[in-house]
Amino acid sequence: MIEKIYKKLVNKETGLYTIFGVLTSIQNVLMFDILLHFGMAYRIANIITLITVKLTAYICNKNFVFKSHCANFLELLKEFGRFVFWRGATMLLDYFGLIFLVEVVGAPKLIGKVVMTVFVIAVNYVTGKRHVFKNKKASP
């Protein structure tokens, strides 16, 4: 039973998701920090960063992690719509979670950003796998 759970949790897909998740997380935190460094308000910096990172994540997850293939443009639009919906939901979680951590808990902005990024990565994997990338390519 443990071996079955291990194989389900540790496989090529989760490995690729981890790699691209780490890369987009680095993009997320670095871009946020750079925008803060240039004097941008942290809420605005967070929104700009989240939108940019979500688009990067779509491209990486579609092409490299879940290997989703859409037969036509309408299918692609539906997939992208599902992605925007689910990632929009986690973007709100990330956005308001950071505000909560900074303004209520008193966490430093960058620490709050890292905490929320790690939490959202797990939620994004589940929603991506179950709800967004339904059109996987057949294995060769």
User: Which bin fits 67, alpha (ψ -120 to 50), beta or left (φ > 0)?
Assistant: left
Kindly report, residue by residue over 22-49, the tens digit of the pLDDT. Answer: 899 899 899 999 999 999 999 999 999 9
Q: How many CB atoms lie within 10 A of CB 46?
A: 26
Q: What is the pTM assigned to this prediction?
A: 0.73
Sign of CA dihedral 24, 18, 69, 90: negative
Kindly report, residue by residue over 60-97, the tens digit of the pLDDT. Answer: 999 998 888 899 999 999 999 999 999 899 989 999 99
